[in-house]
Amino acid sequence: MARYNAKDSEQRWQDAWNAANVFLTPTDHSKPKCYVLEMFPYPSGRIHIGHVRNYTMGDVLARFKRSQGFNVLHPMGWDAFGLPAENAAREKHVNPRDWTYENIAAMKDQLKLMGLSLDWTREFATCDPAYFAREQKLFLDFYRENLAYRSEADVNWDPVDMTVLANEQVIDGRGWRSGALVERKKLSQWFLRITAFSQELLDALDTLERWPEKVRLMQKNWIGRSEGLRFTFRLSNDEGLDVFTTRPDTLFGASFVAISPDHPLAEELANKDTTLAQFQAECRRIGTAEEAIEKAEKLGYDTGLTAAHPFDPNWKLPVYVANFVLMAYGTGAIFGCPAHDQRDLDFARKYKLTVNAVVIPEGADPKTFDVGNEAYVGPGKLANSQFLDGLTVEEGKAEVLKRLETAGIGERKVQFRLRDWLVSRQRPWGCPIPMIHCPTCGVVPVPEDQLPVKAPDDLTFTVKGNPLDVHPTWKHVSCPQCGGAATRDTDTLDTFVDSSWYYARFTDTTAEGPVNQEAVDYWLPVDQYIGGIEHAILHLLYSRFFLRAMKKAGYVKIDEPFAGLFTQGMVCHETYKDAAGLWLAPEQIDKRDGGVFVKGSDEKVTVGPSEKMSKSKKNVVAPEAIIDIFGADTIRWFMLSDTPPERDIEWTEEGADACWKFVQRIWRLVSEAEGLPPVGTPVTGNSDLRRAVHKAIAAVTEDLAGLRFNRAVAQIYTLTNAISAAGAAPGAERREALEALVQLIGPMMPHLAESCWDALGHAPFVAAAPWPKAEAELLAIHTVTIAVQVNGKLRGTLEIAPDTDKAEVEAAALALESVTRALDGKAPKKVIVVPNRIVNIVA
RNA sequence: GCCCGAGUGGUGGAAUGGUAGACGCACUGGACUCAAAAUCCAGCGUCCGAAAGGAUGUGUCGGUUCGAGUCCGACCUCGGGCACCA
């Protein structure tokens, strides 16, 4: 029998599935549904191996659920707007639209090689006018529902390129292309009111039981609910200054007040104080990234103003502008209590401010307790705090709150870290914001019958600034309300908006409105969403918000888009460097004689650790090259084997070879099987082989349902070994075993499974055959192995009938020769018998 | 800085608080072959031992328990995220 020819076979089965429409989404809604979705790709032009891992997992699940009788929706599309297309437009002088659609075509060809069970009739790209027209409609709905509003916000501004920069485009405070020092600039921009749902988004996390705990926790921290006190300081210039604190109990430990460099008061003071203005500029150079701000040295500028302590008007606290106070959180102003907050302490030490401990840990003396250089944030009793002395932290918080509320200068406040979602982007390759600015009427929505608002075809990318904004005619329109001269909003929506509702659009891509009510009611929520952990917060949180906003606008009845979430790990590879320290690609090296050399020479290669595949380190492998050599089933099997799906996997050449050998092994086992009775021959009995088969069916079924692909793979190896060892078993038993094996590998290696199914005499398709069922009586256990320990150390085992009486098990254990030897004549003090598990004799 | 995750043989990893190392890779020995590849069989944590067997062993230190890779506390190391990359 010939070797399995993956290339021919895979093409043949892909064509056959296609011709028979095996993977079209069922339209009869009477059966239970399963919506399986992988995070759709950005069309960079090539699929990378991370996509292969992601889509393989989703495909296994989709095929598994389909054969279990579910109506499966398994679509694919393209997250097609974004920066790379603009960069290509600038660098290669191509139209971003052409570049994007060419990439989509190329990637689609590559994806098709994988044999994914996708319904391609539902494909769309977010840059299709048919899609973003509906997105613009949703934006107008949200505006009407008061979920979209305009406000000023900071951007990174490149003064040379005259363009807004993404954080990623700011390198060491300079524009990535121009090298100019980046400025911060205020622009009037659109926001979506995600904070209207802060509490709801937080509470609902508890209901997402099929989400990783880690992701829920990350979102919880991101939403960042904290309870505290907002109160007003009276300043020496007689103005009031609002601050927020979660530690009102430490108010008597205050030694300064600090405001953000972006605080209105700081702006006001800077108008008359050039040194302060310089200080502000210096702070802003740190950028907007939280990491940079937190890590930067704590810097402050003494405004000369003072704030009166709320409980003692004669106690004056200096007011600083400080770089670590964020305008975006709370009120943009704090009181500093150095003894009990590390940042405040660092600041106080630097500016030689007093450090008074007011929370004293158990057993410490209030008179001598000194925090040194580490703030004390633990529990304790209040001291040096007048009327608070002796209270606990919690009691102190309540007391201060009560007094300031009574005095009318403070109130209890629930503060969220979550900020509204800034969605305006000053970029041409995105969904245009369908709004018009009229000097008379203000902001006017584009009438719905004029949607979609499309970018013009003749954009120039060589100009400075946003091409949409500098285009000679596009933005000039007449106001839909008064007819006067007006201009379009030249910003586009954040691409996260595009990906916040695509899953809903997939349920009916022909819907006239954004969604079809009947389709979303049936298909949503997504039953299993699979993608990278890098989307743990933003994409997933925005999508959760977006569906709520769509509900408010009357489109859907549910709140949560993704009932099940799985975040898969990355694909890594060893890194290689030559003698000169330059990176080498895997195909440039040669492993031989126990060493690693530059291919075609004796130059030694330094092998580095396995890292996420990246172009710069050259440790990438191209999926299409692997498919070309081994076929799609091999790469799919690799992606599922050995490593748990949530963990990073390392691509190795040896592993790929091993998978390919396994493909051949199965093919041999099936195609060379002799003496098999015809399809449908009944089989009875409880031979070892039959028990192994049904045990494998049960285990693989459970593992696939739980997305434990690596364990399912191990079970299949075990079954394969059992079949190999049972060459002398009756034909009917071997047929049953081979059919089970073929069906179990079906979701993972679908082409090979079809070829085997065919070789076993079945009509196509195994992909459409019902999932095998394990027979309960064959899973029953006839004997159990019980471990026997003496003082917790293994001394022997017992083969015994399951559920044997405890006393009998104990007697049998004590009778073991190895046990009497270990006891050495001592009488057992105690014997613990765990039924069917273990006996532990304590001597 | 803050938040999160992970540490088990040569290696990827398995293990409802109950026989640590399933299954795969690599390696070693053997069979087949003129030879190689492929395939098949056997071995494979470490130490002592010819073997039987024994000791030891899941990043470190301590704790809970008849029993800990698993639970608790402290620490060490590595990795990821931090609002305009998608």
- pLDDT at site A170: 67
Paired residues of A301 in beta bridges = A321
Residues 420-449 of A with CB under 7 A from strand B: 421-422, 424-426
Name the residue with the least CA to C1' distance from nucleotide B15: A711
Spell out the residues 6+ positions from residue A756 whose beta carbon is closer than 8 angstroms to its own.
Answer: A666, A667, A670, A671, A738, A742, A766
Asked whether residue A592's C-beta has any atom of DNA/RNA strand B within 7 A, the reply is no
Q: Which bases in strand B are touched by protein, i.e. have an atom under 7 Å from a CB? A: 1-6, 12-16, 18-20, 22-26, 38-41, 53-56, 66-68, 80-86
Determine the angle formed by the axes of helices A688-705 and A731-745, rounding to 10 degrees: 10
DSSP symbols for A696-717: HHHHHHHHHHTT-HHHHHHHHH
The whole-angstrom separation of Cα A663 and Cα A507 is 36
Asked whether residue A629's C-beta has any atom of DNA/RNA strand B within 7 A, the reply is no
- pLDDT at site A583: 77
The whole-angstrom separation of Cα A143 and Cα A285 is 34
User: Smallest CA–C1' separation from A644: which nucleotide?
Assistant: B13
The dihedral formed by the CA atoms of A708, A711, A713 and A714, expressed in degrees to the nearest 10: 180
How is residue A797 annotated by DSSP?
E
Q: What percent of chain A has pLDDT over 90?
A: 48
Tell me whether strands A838-842 and A784-790 are parallel, antiparallel or unpaired.
Answer: parallel
Residues 747-776 of A with CB under 7 A from strand B: none
Placement of tokens 């992601």 in the chain? A54
Name the residue with the least CA to C1' distance from nucleotide B38: A661
Placement of tokens 């031979």 in the chain? A687
Residue with the bigger pLDDT between A445 and A391: it is A445
Asked whether residue A186's C-beta has any atom of DNA/RNA strand B within 7 A, the reply is no
Strand runs (DSSP E) across A223-265, as ranges?
225-235, 240-245, 256-259
User: Quick check: helix, strand or coil at residue A243?
Assistant: strand
- pLDDT at site A217: 83
Please report which helix (H) or strand (E) contains residue A35, including its range.
Answer: strand A33-38
Summarize pLDDT for A120-131 with one digit per residue, the tens.
999 999 999 999
A706 CA to B43 C1', in Å? 35
pLDDT(A1) > 60 = no
A419 CA to B81 C1', in Å? 18
Asked whether residue A822's C-beta has any atom of DNA/RNA strand B within 7 A, the reply is yes
Residue with the bigger pLDDT between A64 and A588: it is A64
Asked whether residue A61's C-beta has any atom of DNA/RNA strand B within 7 A, the reply is no
pLDDT(A660) > 90 = yes
Confidence of residue A309 (pLDDT cuts 50, 70, 90): very high
Spell out the residues 6+ positions from residue A778 whose beta carbon is closer than 8 angstroms to its own.
Answer: A686, A690, A691, A693, A694, A695
Residue with the bigger pLDDT between A185 and A270: it is A270
User: Smallest CA–C1' separation from A662: which nucleotide?
Assistant: B24
Q: Is the ipTM of this complex over 0.85?
A: yes
Helices H / strands E in chain A, number of each? 27, 36
Could you give the C-alpha distances from A585 to A47, A315, A530, A619, in angstroms and in order?
Answer: 18, 67, 29, 6
Tell me whether strands A225-235 and A300-309 are parallel, antiparallel or unpaired.
Answer: antiparallel
The model's pTM: 0.91
| Tokens (6 digits) for A235 | 């300043």
CB count in 10 Å sphere of residue A162: 14
Could you give the C-alpha distances from A473 to A452, A457, A469, A485, in angstroms and in order?
Answer: 17, 12, 9, 12
Confidence of residue A171 (pLDDT cuts 50, 70, 90): low
Residues 495-524 of A with CB under 7 A from strand B: 495-496, 499
Report yes or no: A308 and A233 within 8 Å, Cβ to Cβ.
Answer: yes
Asked whether residue A460's C-beta has any atom of DNA/RNA strand B within 7 A, the reply is no
Name the residue with the least CA to C1' distance from nucleotide B65: A792
pLDDT(A290) > 90 = no
Summarize pLDDT for A726-736 with one digit per residue, the tens.
888 899 999 99
User: Quick check: helix, strand or coil at residue A483?
Assistant: coil
Summarize pLDDT for A677-698 with one digit per residue, the tens.
999 999 999 888 999 999 999 9
User: Smallest CA–C1' separation from A541: which nucleotide?
Assistant: B83
Confidence of residue A106 (pLDDT cuts 50, 70, 90): very high
Paired residues of A256 in beta bridges = A336
CB count in 10 Å sphere of residue A581: 7
pLDDT(A62) > 90 = yes
A14 CA to B4 C1', in Å? 42
Residue with the bigger pLDDT between A41 and A173: it is A41
User: Smallest CA–C1' separation from A609: which nucleotide?
Assistant: B78
Asked whether residue A415's C-beta has any atom of DNA/RNA strand B within 7 A, the reply is no
- pLDDT at site A498: 94
Q: In what order do the strands lie in the sheet with A528-532?
A: A71-73, A33-38, A528-532, A565-568
Could you give the C-alpha distances from A408 to A311, A401, A411, A777, in angstroms and in order?
Answer: 13, 11, 8, 75
Lowest mean pLDDT across A16-25, A80-89, A367-376: A367-376
Residues 775-794 of A with CB under 7 A from strand B: 785, 787, 789, 791-794
How is residue A842 annotated by DSSP?
E
A637 CA to B2 C1', in Å? 39
pLDDT(A191) > 80 = yes
The whole-angstrom separation of Cα A434 and Cα A446 is 5
- pLDDT at site A212: 86
pLDDT(A361) > 90 = no
Lowest mean pLDDT across A140-154, A356-370, A707-721: A356-370
A201 CA to B82 C1', in Å? 19
The whole-angstrom separation of Cα A567 and Cα A488 is 40
Spell out the residues 6+ positions from residue A666 whose beta carbon is closer than 8 angstroms to its own.
Answer: A720, A741, A742, A745, A749, A752, A756
Confidence of residue A448 (pLDDT cuts 50, 70, 90): very high
Spell out the residues 6+ positions from residue A674 whose beta carbon is closer than 8 angstroms to its own.
Answer: none
Asked whether residue A202's C-beta has any atom of DNA/RNA strand B within 7 A, the reply is no
Asked whether residue A62's C-beta has any atom of DNA/RNA strand B within 7 A, the reply is no
Report yes or no: A325 and A360 within 8 Å, Cβ to Cβ.
Answer: no
A822 CA to B56 C1', in Å? 17
HSE-up of residue A446 (Cα within 13 Å, Cβ side): 24
Name the residue with the least CA to C1' distance from nucleotide B6: A647
Residue with the bigger pLDDT between A226 and A627: it is A627
Asked whether residue A405's C-beta has any atom of DNA/RNA strand B within 7 A, the reply is no
- pLDDT at site A166: 65
User: Among A452, A509, A570, A428, which residue's Cα sits nearest to residue A77?
Assistant: A509
Which range scores top for mean pLDDT: A329-343, A357-371, A534-548, A661-675? A661-675
Rg (alpha carbons) of chain A, rounded to whole number: 33
Which sign does the torsion angle of CA A591, A592, A595, A600 carry? negative
- pLDDT at site A288: 61
User: Smallest CA–C1' separation from A220: which nucleotide?
Assistant: B3
The whole-angstrom separation of Cα A675 and Cα A353 is 91
The whole-angstrom separation of Cα A43 and Cα A51 is 11
A795 CA to B54 C1', in Å? 11
- pLDDT at site A209: 85
- pLDDT at site A349: 85
A670 CA to B39 C1', in Å? 16
Summarize pLDDT for A194-245 with one digit per residue, the tens.
989 999 999 998 888 888 888 888 888 888 888 888 999 999 988 899 999 9
A830 CA to B67 C1', in Å? 13
A570 CA to B77 C1', in Å? 21
User: Among A84, A83, A13, which residue's Cα sits nearest to residue A46?
Assistant: A84
Residue with the bigger pLDDT between A470 and A287: it is A470
| For range A129-147, the mean pLDDT | 96
How is residue A462 annotated by DSSP?
S
User: Smallest CA–C1' separation from A418: which nucleotide?
Assistant: B83
Confidence of residue A168 (pLDDT cuts 50, 70, 90): low
| For range A102-109, the mean pLDDT | 95
User: Among A405, A114, A396, which residue's Cα sits nearest to residue A231?
Assistant: A405
User: Smallest CA–C1' separation from A170: which nucleotide?
Assistant: B84
Asked whether residue A24's C-beta has any atom of DNA/RNA strand B within 7 A, the reply is no
Residue A103's Cβ-count burial label (10 Å; 0-12, 13-18, 19+) is buried
Summarize pLDDT for A244-274 with one digit per residue, the tens.
998 899 999 999 999 988 888 988 898 889 9
User: Among A533, A246, A515, which residue's Cα sits nearest to residue A397?
Assistant: A246
How high does pLDDT run on average in chain A? 89
User: Smallest CA–C1' separation from A496: which nucleotide?
Assistant: B86
The whole-angstrom separation of Cα A695 and Cα A718 is 10
- pLDDT at site A664: 94
Residue with the bigger pLDDT between A238 and A752: it is A752
Asked whether residue A182's C-beta has any atom of DNA/RNA strand B within 7 A, the reply is no
The whole-angstrom separation of Cα A216 and Cα A307 is 40
A672 CA to B31 C1', in Å? 21
Asked whether residue A724's C-beta has any atom of DNA/RNA strand B within 7 A, the reply is yes
Which sign does the torsion angle of CA A433, A434, A440, A441 carry? negative
Residue with the bigger pLDDT between A137 and A804: it is A137
The whole-angstrom separation of Cα A180 and Cα A165 is 11
- pLDDT at site A376: 80
Residues 70-99 of A with CB under 7 A from strand B: 79, 81-84
Asked whether residue A559's C-beta has any atom of DNA/RNA strand B within 7 A, the reply is no
| Distance, first Cα to last Cα, chain A | 62
Asked whether residue A735's C-beta has any atom of DNA/RNA strand B within 7 A, the reply is no
| For range A405-415, the mean pLDDT | 89
How is residue A42 annotated by DSSP?
P
Report yes or no: A656 and A630 within 8 Å, Cβ to Cβ.
Answer: yes
User: Smallest CA–C1' separation from A715: which nucleotide?
Assistant: B23
User: Among A502, A432, A665, which residue's Cα sits nearest to residue A76?
Assistant: A502
- pLDDT at site A215: 86
| Tokens (6 digits) for A648 | 């990073």
Q: What percent of chain A has pLDDT over 70?
A: 97
Asked whether residue A713's C-beta has any atom of DNA/RNA strand B within 7 A, the reply is yes
The whole-angstrom separation of Cα A672 and Cα A43 is 43
Report yes or no: A621 and A576 within 8 Å, Cβ to Cβ.
Answer: no
Spell out the residues 6+ positions from residue A270 whose beta carbon is closer than 8 angstroms to its own.
Answer: A276, A277, A280
Residues 211-250 of A with CB under 7 A from strand B: 213-214, 217-218, 221-222, 224
Residue with the bigger pLDDT between A278 and A463: it is A278
Confidence of residue A442 (pLDDT cuts 50, 70, 90): very high
User: Among A185, A188, A194, which residue's Cα sits nearest to residue A151?
Assistant: A188
User: Among A567, A500, A561, which residue's Cα sits nearest to residue A215?
Assistant: A567
The total number of residues shown for chain A amounts to 843
| For range A639-657, the mean pLDDT | 89
pLDDT(A287) > 80 = no
Residue with the bigger pLDDT between A592 and A575: it is A575
| Tokens (6 digits) for A611 | 């890292």
A308 CA to B25 C1', in Å? 71
Residues 99-138 of A with CB under 7 A from strand B: none
